[in-house]
């Protein structure tokens, strides 16, 4: 039977910190609000941006999201880099007959552009992301939709991600998660959320996947 690996995007396939944090700084600056340094905005990487904007801008969250997207959609999404070892991992999995998909809380149009821009599109059967209207922005809803849409049995699939949102969203759908330490969550966060396995480099992912799904 086919085995399927769902990959988170930000903090798992690519390091998006300059683009995400820089676009958030732009939005705050345009609104005349305090602008923290990027190191203090790393928590933005992972959760839906509208929820993060509510913490940063309060009642002006919708305005903040609009300004964030203004910059992110033009330049921010390309202020990004693919983590070392990711293309090799994806090729290895495809050679092993794994079906690969992206499952990200990022707006789907942005996610598709990033995956294609960095030459990863050929590895993935489908990129699943949130709607620009906020639909499917939570990982549990997104993965529920992705599993049904792709007709994948949870027992034959796993999630790979760097944040608790990946682990909890996958668990709500009967999926196990491999937590990765090169992103922005950290071991304690992933363990507390219930990751089935935690790896420190892309070289370890295939073995961890095969241990979960024979």
* 8 is known as an active-site residue: yes
Dihedral of CA atoms 11, 13, 71, 33 in degrees, nearest 10, equals: 0
Q: CA-CA distance, 63 to 79, in Å (whole number)?
A: 22
According to DSSP, residue 212 is labeled: H
Q: Under a CB-based contact definition with an 8 Å cutoff, are residues 124 and 100 in contact?
A: yes
Q: CA-CA distance, 61 to 9, in Å (whole number)?
A: 24
Q: Under a CB-based contact definition with an 8 Å cutoff, are residues 3 and 98 in contact?
A: yes
Catalytic residue among 8, 10, 15, 162: 8
- Quick one: tokens of 26? 């732009």
Which residues belong to the active site?
A: 8
């Amino acid at each position: 039977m086919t085995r399927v690996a769902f990959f988170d995007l930000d903090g798992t396939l690519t390091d998006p910190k300059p683009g995400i944090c820089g676009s958030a700084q732009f939005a705050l600056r345009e609104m005349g609000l305090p602008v923290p340094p990027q190191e203090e905005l790393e928590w933005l990487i992972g959760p839906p941006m509208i929820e993060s904007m509510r913490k940063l801008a309060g009642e002006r969250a919708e305005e903040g999201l609009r300004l964030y997207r203004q910059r992110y959609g033009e330049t921010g999404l390309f202020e990004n880099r693919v983590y070392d070892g990711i293309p090799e991992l994806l090729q290895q999995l495809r050679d092993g007959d794994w079906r690969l998909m992206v499952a990200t809380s990022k707006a789907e149009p942005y996610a598709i552009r990033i995956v294609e821009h960095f030459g990863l599109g050929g590895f993935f059967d489908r990129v699943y992301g949130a709607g620009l209207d906020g639909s499917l922005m939570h990982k549990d809803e997104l993965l529920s939709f992705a599993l049904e849409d792709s007709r994948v049995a949870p027992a034959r699939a796993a999630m790979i991600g760097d944040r608790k949102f990946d682990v909890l969203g996958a668990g709500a759908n009967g999926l196990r998660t491999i937590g990765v330490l090169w992103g922005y969550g950290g071991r304690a966060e992933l363990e507390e959320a219930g990751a089935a396995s935690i790896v420190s480099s892309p070289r370890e992912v295939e073995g961890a996947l095969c241990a979960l799904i024979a």
